[in-house]
Structure 1
Amino acid sequence: MKAFWRSYYSNPWLIAVTFGLPLVLSLMIWWIFSSSVVRELPLDVVDLDQSSLSRMIIRDYDATPTLAVRTIQPNVTIANRALKEGDNYGYIVIPHDFERNVMLGKSPQISGFYNGQFILIAKQINSALMQTDMTIQAKLATIKALSTKQSTWTQAINSAVPIKVQVTALFNIGSNYNQFLVSAILPAIWQMAVIVGMIWAMKNESVRNNNNDLREWFDSQTPQNILSFVGVYFLIGMTLGCVLFYFLFGVLQFPFDASILSFLITMGAMTLACISIGTAIGYGTNNIVKAMSISGAYTAPSFAFLGVTFPVSDMNNVAVFWHSILPASHFVRSQIEQANYGYGLVSSFSHVGILLLFTLPLLLLISRLRK
């Protein structure tokens, strides 16, 4: 085992792949989402009415912390083109004769359009539009009350808004997407680091033994040597995982109601699963370039298939299959159950069992080695 440790410490690139780069990438992800709430999403407005009331409504949309009115477009075609080209995240259409219809006591419709492919952004825009619409409807109801019957200004406001609600986004935990996203992205990064690191570790050992053939190097080892090799990178993978999750639950103070022992056992199963997959990819391809390509294609879209931002029940068959073959999918489920709901190891044993099934390729390869 000492030889494998010396080999690891003598390769700065291997240290960077298995430890340094994942930490830097995790810090970058946290910094990107550290604001906790979405602000100033660009929105276009198609004002077909050009009235004082429509301008008041535009100011209401621009006043929300989530939205920022980018431009006022002359027609829907231009606004729709800007949406498709990514110049805005959505647009609002205020129809012709809007103010006139409001004064006549009618109920004209303001239409909002946004790109639903950006799940988080679409959710935030939809929420902001609904909150702003409530304010606008209260104002319009007040105007209608003043224009259709004799009423004082105070009476009209109280009639339109009998219950006043204040939502402060910065202190609304439900609006904080930092905890929602970062706690799922970091396990995906951890998974990628362990799998890719294992492939580079095999390459490092084969070169150290003057052999560029990954498969030949593996087959030339004894089971004891491979177990020592796996033991070294198991400790490295666990150390990286502990640092990442201490950052989540210790530094950022995300909720953690789990037993530390049961969580570490689940982490151990996850690490072994990733080591097994990395070894199998390296052995099966027998080529560092092909192995890196396959591992990248396998792990890069992990976050999309974890079932955190998009429910598994709504995925198609291919997505469900990809979800099921990712160790991080099963780990994140157990992580959420243990950290957020206080599940014990027994309750999460099904996820641990599935993670241990991923170790079968490694066990099979070891069993083929000569004694």
Structure 2
Amino acid sequence: MARHAVARPFRASVAREWTRLRADPWDLAMLTAIPLALYLLTWWILSAGVARDLPLVVYDLDHSAMSRSLVRMLDQSPGLKVVLAASGESEAMRLIRERGAYGVVSIPAGLQADVSLGRAVKLQWAYNAQFPSYTGSMTRDVRTVVATLSAGIELQGRAKRGMALQQARAQFEPIRTRTATLFNDSGSYEMALALPVVFSLLHIFVTLGAVTAVGRELRAGSVPAWLAAADGKLAPAILGKLAIAFAAFVLQAMLVAILFGAVRGWPVMGSAVAIIAGTLLLITAYLAMGLFFVAFAPSLRTALSVCAFVTAPAFAFTGQGFPSMSMPFAARLWAEALPLSHFTHLLNNTWLAGAPLRYSMGQLGVLLLFTLGFGALGYLRLARRVQQPESWGQT
């Protein structure tokens, strides 16, 4: 009997919310088509995975066989594309300022002659540091090409002096570094950036869905009808109001997991239970946060503004683009106050790094606390507001 007393108001609240959504295509689209379109757009933008053919300029003052060989090697490097052999520094800088290229390799006059005489030669690599995501990989590729050319010249010189090739290699590089890439061996942006960005978009829509669903009842002054549908019980009314949004975003998270895990070939290497539980708690945490915002804000407009202020820049504090440990203390504190930061940590540790469930218990616990804390505060405040008609009707 007690279960029926709770279930019937809940179902009635769900039915009322579904009727409202069907009558409002825009709100329904904010729970369905619009988020899905943005997820796919984000994935499509980063689906190439690795940056290719980033443009650079070559300023060749030597015009020798060696300099032409260097230019060919630069152009053949997968991450680089020589777009111009500049005739002067002004022409090279013009292209840099026009963003037609992001760096310039300057080859000094007398390169081949100096190398033939055994003299050290320095090539200048100047790049536009305004775009570190571009020029970081370009710098690595330029250094690799120059080091390869330099090593080939040195080995050829030692071979001409009668040294065996194997011996020449051992003497030329007596200590070597063996690089081992962990977890994302291709260096793909698709997994490192696209997946966290998609979940960042999801958390924005989750919070917006909760704010809109409850806020429209307060703005329209339809609180009595809303509560009446749930037999006057606020808890089933709230849960029923948010149930459709919860189901919609859980389904979207499942589709994201299928896209990245099955279709794109990035399976969950760690605990699937941690990923599932973390995703569910991320959604409930931001539904509770949305409830908190709309319960304490004087109007729906204010609640939406607070929602945008908190969720829109949240990805910048997760440490995906800039290390959070290098941020100022206040920024790190704000990052810890955001459920998305804890979920992103769980996502990084579990999806590709292969961490077992016990490594994620801390993040799961924090996400649960966010859900319970914001949910309880939002409920208590809303319980007072539904008894204060003078606080309704605010735009």
TM-score, with length taken from structure 2: 0.78
**Structure 1 pair 365/176, CA: closer, same or farther in 2 (3 Å)?**
closer
Is 1:46 matched with 2:74?
A: no
**Structure 1 pair 78/306, CA: closer, same or farther in 2 (3 Å)?**
farther
Q: 1:236 aligns with which of 248, 267, 279?
A: 248
Distance, in Å, in 2 between the alignment partners of 1:65 and 1:133 is 15
| Conserved? CA contact 1:19–1:193, under 8 Å | no
Q: What one-letter code is carried by the residue in structure 2 that aligns with 1:312? A: S
- In structure 1, the partner of 2:5 is none
- In structure 2, the partner of 1:60 is 73
- In structure 2, the partner of 1:17 is 30
**Structure 1 pair 286/250, CA: closer, same or farther in 2 (3 Å)?**
farther
Residue aligned with 1:348, SS? helix
- In structure 1, the partner of 2:275 is 263
- In structure 2, the partner of 1:357 is 369
| Conserved? CA contact 1:43–1:68, under 8 Å | yes
Considering only aligned residues, what root-mean-square deviation do their CA atoms show, in Å? 3.2
| Cα deviation, residue 9, structure 1 | 3.1
| Conserved? CA contact 1:66–1:128, under 8 Å | yes
Q: 2:379 aligns with which of 342, 349, 366?
A: 366
| Cα deviation, residue 328, structure 1 | 1.5
Residue aligned with 1:88, SS? coil
Identity of aligned residues (%): 26
**Structure 1 pair 358/116, CA: closer, same or farther in 2 (3 Å)?**
farther
Q: 1:199 aligns with which of 201, 205, 211?
A: 211
Is 1:252 matched with 2:250?
A: no
Distance, in Å, in 1 between the alignment partners of 2:258 and 2:38 is 16
- In structure 1, the partner of 2:344 is 332
Cα deviation 1:270-328 (Å, max 9, x = unaligned): 11111122233334444444444443343233333221243222223343234223322
Distance, in Å, in 2 between the alignment partners of 1:356 and 1:61 is 52
| Conserved? CA contact 2:216–2:300, under 8 Å | no
Cα deviation 1:134-183 (Å, max 9, x = unaligned): 3211343256558xx6569xx679946999xxx9xxxx943333222222
Structure 1 window deviating more from structure 2 (244-253 vs 254-263): it is: 254-263
| Conserved? CA contact 2:282–2:339, under 8 Å | yes
| Cα deviation, residue 351, structure 1 | 0.8
Structure 2: gaps (5+ residues): 1-13, 174-178, 224-231, 388-395
Q: What one-letter code is carried by the residue in structure 2 that aligns with 1:123? A: G
Residue aligned with 1:340, SS? coil
Cα deviation 1:204-253 (Å, max 9, x = unaligned): 44466558xxxxxxxx9823312322333222222222222222223223
Is 1:100 matched with 2:99?
A: no
**Structure 1 pair 232/175, CA: closer, same or farther in 2 (3 Å)?**
closer
Residue aligned with 1:70, SS? strand
| Conserved? CA contact 1:105–1:144, under 8 Å | no
Cα deviation 1:15-55 (Å, max 9, x = unaligned): 22122122111112222222222111010122233333222
Distance, in Å, in 2 between the alignment partners of 1:199 and 1:75 is 58
Distance, in Å, in 1 between the alignment partners of 2:98 and 2:369 is 45
Q: 2:359 aligns with which of 336, 342, 347?
A: 347
Q: What one-letter code is carried by the residue in structure 2 that aligns with 1:43? A: L
- In structure 2, the partner of 1:317 is 329
| Conserved? CA contact 2:266–2:352, under 8 Å | no
Cα deviation 1:57-107 (Å, max 9, x = unaligned): 111111111101111224445534543543322221212322221121111
Structure 1 window deviating more from structure 2 (74-83 vs 352-361): it is: 74-83
Is 1:134 matched with 2:147?
A: yes
Distance, in Å, in 1 between the alignment partners of 2:338 and 2:208 is 14
- In structure 2, the partner of 1:216 is none
| Conserved? CA contact 2:292–2:377, under 8 Å | no
Residue aligned with 1:186, SS? helix
Is 1:87 matched with 2:100?
A: yes
Structure 1: gaps (5+ residues): 212-219
Is 1:282 matched with 2:291?
A: no
Distance, in Å, in 1 between the alignment partners of 2:300 and 2:126 is 47
Q: What one-letter code is carried by the residue in structure 1 that aligns with 2:187? A: S
| Conserved? CA contact 2:214–2:241, under 8 Å | no
**Structure 1 pair 99/297, CA: closer, same or farther in 2 (3 Å)?**
farther
| Conserved? CA contact 1:103–1:144, under 8 Å | no
Q: What one-letter code is carried by the residue in structure 2 that aligns with 1:59? A: R
TM-score, with length taken from structure 1: 0.82
Residue aligned with 2:214, SS? helix
Distance, in Å, in 2 between the alignment partners of 1:140 and 1:313 is 43
Is 1:303 matched with 2:315?
A: yes
| Conserved? CA contact 2:47–2:190, under 8 Å | yes
Distance, in Å, in 2 between the alignment partners of 1:207 and 1:5 is 18
| Cα deviation, residue 256, structure 1 | 0.9
Q: What one-letter code is carried by the residue in structure 1 that aligns with 2:259? A: F
**Structure 1 pair 176/344, CA: closer, same or farther in 2 (3 Å)?**
closer
| Conserved? CA contact 2:46–2:190, under 8 Å | yes
**Structure 1 pair 55/285, CA: closer, same or farther in 2 (3 Å)?**
farther
- In structure 2, the partner of 1:36 is 49
